[in-house]
Amino acid sequence: MAASRGPPLLGFRALALALLLAILLLLGCSAAAAYAGAEGVLRQVVGRRGDDGGGGNFFEPFNVTYDHRAVLIGGKRRMLVSAGLHYPRATPEMWPSLIAKFKEGGADVIETYVFWNGHEPAKGQYYFEERFDLVKFAKLVAAEGLFLFLRIGPYACAEWNFGGFPVWLRDIPGIEFRTDNEPFKAEMQTFVTKIVTLMKEEKLYSWQGGPIILQQIENEYGNIQGNYGQAGKRYMQWAAQMAIGLDTGIPWVMCRQTDAPEEIIDTCNAFYCDGFKPNSYNKPTIWTEDWDGWYADWGGALPHRPAEDSAFAVARFYQRGGSLQNYYMYFGGTNFARTAGGPLQITSYDYDAPIDEYGILRQPKWGHLKDLHTAIKLCEPALIAVVGSPQYIKLGSMQEAHVYSTGEVHTNGSMAGNAQICSAFLANIDEHKYASVWIFGKSYSLPPWSVSILPDCENVAFNTARIGAQTSVFTVESGSPSRSSRHKPSILSLTSGGPYLSSTWWTSKETIGTWGGNNFAVQGILEHLNVTKDISDYLWYTTRVNISDADVAFWSSKGVLPSLTIDKIRDVARVFVNGKLAGSQVGHWVSLKQPIQLVEGLNELTLLSEIVGLQNYGAFLEKDGAGFRGQVTLTGLSDGDVDLTNSLWTYQVGLKGEFSMIYAPEKQGCAGWSRMQKDSVQPFTWYKNICNQSVGDTIKFMHAY
């Protein structure tokens, strides 16, 4: 588990900030009063509506507007820190503690996408329970006195399966996603209206005493709009007007949409957004996705973004005129069940976020950013007071200062006795060298690639390159399962004598090919999703091939084997001959060529198509599909190649163990379990073990390779 920040260090940081605030008051800046006024409605929590927030308002109702400088909460400009938490990527039991950690870390706002395929798994059938209980989540956010930024989309991307689109959507005749297409626009409008109506009914908008202060329509559409030509432009304008017509009473945003209409705030998504400006002077500068980490793919490295660089990017954003910044992600969480996007994105969505996948604070990132947020809040009175641009001072070839104050500041002399509200940011954008700069009658040492924050234009409260938070310490129990070696990936190694894991594993073989009564036969290769309708990632294809004695003699004389070729597969294809695994291929629409061993007479050829997350990003998503494309051919026969594409194929959706829920404790009778023989790991076998025998919990997985 994460080590807590040590008392001496924590005490020093708190004392330093307290002393700085006292200095500001002595200087006559009245920062505390100004900050309390600016915070305004945020802490005016009227009451908690029970555990999930029933009865009464959370806030005194307030309006949300904006000007060129900032979002206005109850008529007052705010410098807002937002942080991403996707409610389905955590369990409802985790939500309260996560939200509390967001608040403790200095967040004012929690941001989340709304996931269409989770809320409408079948056309017209809505689901708002368990991990998809959006109303409960919103009320828990409000109960902590935090605001909510709701990114309805309904296209999310988010490394979420199919970008959040329900798979049934692609079956609507004539549909084309995210363009000027009437069937798509009708479904999109129905869903967005459903969400907005639900939020109104639950009184979750700010003017109703709820937490929602911002909404998003579409998502990064500007990245792909050009693929659709003028139809894309018309669609974008339609989406904006449709959203505005829902009369939500709060602002809408579009991220990465440089041609967003005047009524919609265009925003930035990137690793750095300090140079971003919206497409109109009348709009504030908002950073909807500050990528403080990145997602991971199967077989890839786990991305890492240093806390110092993340803090530098955020400080520069507020230094250069930003007003609302959102961490994507502050807590990434887990892609439960089949929600991971694709191709080949892993089930963890940890994202190197300040709070890790398990809800543990990731130090020093969480603590360093918390200190940054405290320093920014100390600057808020000065930041919101500037109507135009801050004072800009060139301090060196790669050093500069931005000064925010209620009046002109003479930066050559001391600030002692100055009654103005004044805050400054000193930046050194040299990545390698320290710099010494002179301003306010003092010398300041700036580390490479750093920003120093001076809430009173004199004392440094925070520097992005100087970490005062403790590093996390993690330990791994000796009883944890591990792979024995890279050279023997098929052998499961168990550490004996561990307190939590027994040395006995049990196995159950998965049936190859057809296993249930709902299989069917048809001529030809069918598209994967058209058959499975997204109820499983697995689809079996089985046919029979007759081999003559002449073929066997031909292979023997040539010393070769025949091969099965498939023009294109995605994401995983496995080839079985007479019930035995012959080979596999992994990739996104790549070809497969697999030598196979056939015998004289009838041979059963079985193909398994596996999806590892549907495509979640890009244009023309509805056309991507899954499974096999092109020809399926048996090559190397004595009389030439045989085209199997239009043969009679038997189809079976899913794995037997999957549909029997062999992994559930209450379903143990659905499979015959036998003791695993030592060093006998076999493909397509389910494995279980007792994990903490006093409780009787089990761990299970299927070995596919």
Question: Which amino acids are annotated catalytic?
Answer: 220, 289
Under DSSP, the state recorded for 464 is T
Token output for 328: 């994507």
| Segment holding 22, helix H or strand E | helix 7-26
The two most distant CA atoms of the chain are separated, in Å, by: 103
Quote the CA–CA distance of 598 and 546 in Å, as a whole number.
Answer: 9
94: left (phi over 0), alpha (psi -120 to 50) or beta: alpha
**Tokens 């191709």 label which residue?**
343
Choose among 551, 568, 575, 556: nearest CA to 636. 551
Quote the CA–CA distance of 373 and 172 in Å, as a whole number.
Answer: 47
Q: Which residues contact 409 (CB under 8 A, 6 or more apart)?
A: 391, 403, 415, 418, 420, 422, 457
Can you list the pairs that 127-135 forms with residues at least 24 positions away whose Cβ atoms lie under 8 Å?
A: 128/198, 130/92, 131/87, 131/88, 131/90, 131/91, 131/92, 131/336, 132/87, 132/88, 133/87, 133/92, 134/87, 134/195, 134/198, 135/52, 135/198, 135/202, 135/204
Quote the CA–CA distance of 671 and 205 in Å, as a whole number.
Answer: 50
Helix 365-385 with 31-39: angle, nearest 10 deg: 100
Q: Which residues contact 468 (CB under 8 A, 6 or more apart)?
A: 9, 12, 13, 367, 368, 371
Choose among 425, 369, 426: nearest CA to 399. 426
Quote the CA–CA distance of 180 and 187 in Å, as a whole number.
Answer: 13
